[in-house]
Structure 1
């Protein structure tokens, strides 16, 4: 296979972890006889510094013509002025909107060898296997916003249409059908009107199109508690943009570190006229450890596996990468964030251990 992959290293530790994922992708290409054409583009704070735009036109054009996109991270203290008119995160929101990436998939599955790394008790965490499906291009992050009363009052609308809810629920229900057949929809229907629409549309779609999938509605505040008490009870969880953002960051602590969790942002499949998927670790830019060699590359390496499977249709290659990561961790390879005070390896050394096992 010949595939064009755009790299968006971004800010903070982004360039370091993307560089390690590139090593893994090159190893996969060599082993399985593929050609991956890798090109690097600007996004986030680095793009602001270079061009004044968090997503320059050249970056967007390259992404639109790619087969898949690998992103590191955006943001940092340098660009953290809340009153700034241009912010790194705007580049991320724009690329999601421009490419129609309406669904963010975030698997939460603690590695057996790292169950003890979780702040929760082992018997609560062990066996957890949740797939979050977060709606990514609607809701409060894309609603009309502004200031009034001379800047003393701020507002931001939460807006969802039936069509937006239908497409994310269909995708999530299809994934649930291929797993354990259970879908949990999270909303705030007791208070918010968009959530009432979300719940009614979800119920209708599931009844009419997915009667074989068991549906459960849970309020977002209750879900925040359930994740800490009974995470094993959930299979696929679908929710809106804001709730999904918060809940998945909370759930990331189940495996013990943000540095272990990948994500995929997907839209309409390429076979149906859609664009490329975007793959990124769920952690941030971690500017406090940038350049120290302490960054955990495993989430980004696992992103490369999702890229291979969901972006390029190469499940065997993806499984090889995932198995290599699991085997490395089982052999005791630990970066500082998961070492629990014990011996740790550097970013490059962790990748070396994975490469030895591919």
Structure 2
């Protein structure tokens, strides 16, 4: 097992290198880099009366000496290979670099935006599993019944509707027409003035619509996986033996079937738990104006803030690889019969 873990850890190095290299190469060919973004923002800030007005003309008409200073500020006076090597050197020390436009380190930005993503991720993860697992068990026990058919229809319809579209419908109907829920933000503007009980109510009031939009699509896979796992176990010989011994259906289900059927679900916990924080929230955060990691990544790509793009990519890729390894090791923990060679 130690050799397997060591091998997986060593394989993470070329994987990370390949992801960063591919992204870095693509970035070199993307028009409108940080220098052009800076000059465009400077011209816009100068107003319509300035030279060139507010029209985007990149570096046209700029003093060459000033342009070289800006390139040196962002490190673009060095060749791409040197910049890539310097970036790898920083990442080895877990230094994610400094943002071009926000005057903060990438690590500080990630920690600043993380609470919003954690809020969405934790609620989505726990509600999904608390609903999906019991629903999957009930569907397996009542397989082929009207309940199974109707719940399957509802689950698949919820899964088929993109979270962004569902969030937009919820926002327009419950937030716009009925005005039952707020349209944006994670808390109200008078949050600091509220009591602790009122803060909890206000937080839950704001988080209801975005979490609903994320949950309805995410729990469908878990529900169907639970159902199929239980159906597979129910048909096995040991279940028939347990019933022949006189055990009640509840004892057979919860003492024998439940333990074996949850193996594929439990082993997916780490990936689902971490994935809830970093995936699927970009459009939801943008739609509900939630300042989290998804919105940070989107704005960084739009503004060509390459240190944030590459720094968060390195961090999220590393977390994903480690989580995948933990998920694989969970198979051994749940089922000792599994051996990795």
By the TM > 0.5 criterion, same fold?
A: no
- Which structure would you say has the larger RCO, counting Cα contacts within 8 Å and 6 or more residues apart? 2
Per residue, is there more strand in 1 or in 2? 1
Per residue, is there more helix in 1 or in 2? 2
Structure 2 length normalisation: TM-score? 0.25
Structure number with greater Rg is: 2
Structure 1 length normalisation: TM-score? 0.24
